Amino acid sequence: MTSNGGMQVSAGILIVGLGGNNGVTLLAGQIANRDNLSWETAASGRVSANWYGCLTQIPPRGVHGGVGFRGRVPGLADAGRAVVGGWDIRPTPLGRALYDCRVLEPDLVRQVREEMDKMEIMEGVWDPSFIGESQYETATHVVSAEDNLSTRTRVERIRRDIRSWRGKNNVDGHITIIWSASVERPSEAEYNSPDDLLSAIYDDTNHDDISPSMLYCCAAALEGCSFVNGGSQNTLSSAMTFLFDESYRMPDVPSSSILSKFAPYSSSRAYCLGTDYKAGQTKFKTAAVEYLRALGLSPRVIASSNHLGNNDMLNLTTKKTLDAKMRVKSDIFGPWQENDLDHKVCVMYCPYIGDEKRDFVEYTSLGFLSSPHTMVTYTRCMDSILCVPLMIDAAIWCNCFVNHNVSAGDAARATAYLFKVPEGEAKGVDPGFFNQMKELEDVLKNIVSKRKDTYDVLALGVSRGIITEEQAAALQGLQLNN
């Protein structure tokens, strides 16, 4: 992405759970694209790096434009130039973790492993009560001692990590923090306002049930970074959403306010988005039911199951975390008010299958004269191959929307298609995948038309000799940054 008269500005992506299947697949994909790597595959011979699945990175195809926004939206960052880092509670070197998870072809893993093994993994803020016991044995890379004394010291530590990472890596663009760590059980802490939330975090004697994801999310807001909740836990709340509102994080608040205790904090625009990536089965379900409804049929039974054997699924074998996942998997058709719909979901942990998820869904609807209409879908794909493009797009959209001064409400509506349950400012958006894509198109149309007006005025200024081409470029950069 260019601004400031042509200087490159890099977007930042910080991943909580960097050493997990999604984190390492994202890193490997980014290196592969950056270096134009190619590798041997059993199924298709030699293949080269691409961004398939990343709508922000692929150019439009077909006579009507179609999907793919590269070149259609001004200022969309190149994900290959983004700076990626993050935290994990496991110390496993990232190249080794990539090898172990068996998501990508060995010939590609071989080419990126050494570079990935050298990358820093920041220690994670961890509370064992929130995730499955299956994760305890490997949780040795955790924030400890003074930094782990209270919620206040943990948030301070995350904030320090963000600042020092930004400085070390010269990240001069917007940073998006993505929760890609294990699903947590729901937190029982509820707050009416950001003041209440920050007061609870600041109070060293507080024993509220505040999850690590809430601490990362608060730290993101205070540092002016966007936060994306890719897991299914209840990190987002109205108090949290308001913490991301710039009107709350105004500079120079009175010293009596709780926010001033967290100074210096950032007043920059940042978004809080979620919840739980809509990556595979759920995404197709919301498109299929949209199709059935568009036919005028009445969907009656959706019986769906999936099975896979990755570490995320292993963490979900504990009831406390499974409940969080089932909430977001079941609660996807709410606003359609299909009251007669019997929607069943079953997930099974099958270690042999690894990351290559299989999902089956049978849809039974009533057609003309109540005659049944039944269809079945079967999908098979590596789970991280489905999810990583959404992580990349979420961060690139956040960067783009901040640069174009898009409101929090519009940013949340535009990115609702990425999440199983659109929460925060996206609450109430239609659940249908194609309706959600239309929300994105609407927000982008606004950006493009505003930008076009500016380009027209600047071009006129140059043609009349009022400003030079350099001044026009600098003014464009200014607008992109404000």
Ligand X SMILES: NC(=O)c1ccc[n+]([C@@H]2O[C@H](COP(=O)([O-])OP(=O)(O)OC[C@H]3O[C@@H](n4cnc5c(N)ncnc54)[C@H](O)[C@@H]3O)[C@@H](O)[C@H]2O)c1
Residues that bind ligand X (CB under 6 A): 16-17, 19-23, 87-90, 124-126, 131, 135, 180-183, 212, 230-231, 276-277, 279-280, 310-312, 315, 383-384, 386-387
Of 38 and 148, which CB lies nearer to ligand X in the complex structure?
148
CB of 97 to ligand X, least distance (A): 7
- Residue 91 has which token pair? 């110390």
What single letter denotes the amino acid at residue 271?
Answer: Y
Residue 221 to residue 244: CA distance in whole angstroms: 5
Kindly report the backbone phi and psi dihedral angles of residue 175, in degrees, each rounded to the nearest multiple of 5, phi listed first.
-110, 135
Comparing CA positions, the residue from 147, 132, 116 lying closest to residue 24 is: 116
Q: How far is the CB of 228 from ligand X (least distance, A)?
A: 10
Q: Are 231 and 186 in contact (CB under 8 A)?
A: no
The nearest distance, CB 282 to ligand X, in angstroms, is: 8
Q: Which residue, 83 or 177, is less far from ligand X as judged by CB? A: 177
Query: 173 or 422, CB closer to ligand X?
Result: 422
> Shortest gap between Cβ of 411 and ligand X (angstroms)?
20
Least separation, in Å, of the C-beta of 275 and ligand X? Answer: 10
- For the bound state, the minimum distance from the C-beta of residue 446 to ligand X, rounded and expressed in Å, comes to 29
Give the residue nearest to ligand X (CB): 20
Query: Closest CB to ligand X among 126 and 227?
Result: 126
Nearer to ligand X, 87 or 227 (CB): 87
Minimal distance in Å, beta carbon 298 to ligand X? 29
At closest approach, how far in Å is the CB of 36 from ligand X?
Answer: 26
Comparing CB distances to ligand X, the nearer of 23 and 74 is: 23
Which is nearer to ligand X, 173 or 354 (by Cβ)? Answer: 354
Q: Looking at beta carbons only, is 182 or 304 nearer to ligand X? A: 182
Distance between first and last Cα of the chain:
15
125 or 394, CB closer to ligand X?
125
State the amino acid at position 370 in one-letter form: S
Min dist. Cβ of residue 251 to ligand X (A):
30
